[in-house]
Amino acid sequence: MRRPSMCLVLIVAGTLLGGCSTPSVHDAVHSPPIIVTESGTVLINNRPVDVADVARELKAAGYRKSSEILILIPASPDRAVMKQISIELAKKGFTRTVFVTKRTASATIVNPQ
């Protein structure tokens, strides 16, 4: 009777520790490979790039089509540029694109009394 329950515990523990329940977390250490400026200019490695060349530049930089591509956009982005980038990347097989904005955090000290 002890063996089946022990096997079940080991299977559940192995599944949980093996990464089956690991959430997808964006690593804040890595900078986005694509930056869209306020004026709508697309930058890769701090160099202006035409929207039609974005996928080629990512491939040249070593990104795979299965990679999650972070695209840093301004607080008030140009939606047309975002759409163009999405279309170009999808046409070239990059289907995991995420548009992100800069976030700031602030903290205040609260008197515990």
pLDDT band at 22 (very low <50, low <70, confident <90, very high): very low
Number of domains in the chain: 1
Assign residue 65 the CATH number of its domain: 3.30.420
Query: Which residue, among 79, 31, 84, has the nearest Cα to 55 in the 3D structure?
Result: 84
Question: Do the domain assignments include residue 49?
Answer: yes
Domain span at residue 68 reads 25-100
How high does pLDDT run on average in the chain? 79
The average pLDDT across 42-46 equals 91
**Strands, sheet with 97-100, edge to edge from the N-terminal-most edge strand:** 47-48, 42-44, 34-36, 69-72, 97-100
Q: What is the largest CA-CA distance in the chain?
A: 69
pLDDT of residue 2: 54
Q: What digits encode the pLDDT tens for the residues 23-32? A: 444 444 456 7
The H or E element containing residue 48 is strand 47-48
CA angle 95–98–103, rounded 5-degree value: 175
Cβ contacts of 41 within 8 Å, gap of 6 or more? 48
Q: Is residue 112 part of a domain?
A: no
40 falls within a domain:
yes
Question: Does 34 map to a domain?
Answer: yes
Residue 77 lies in a domain: yes
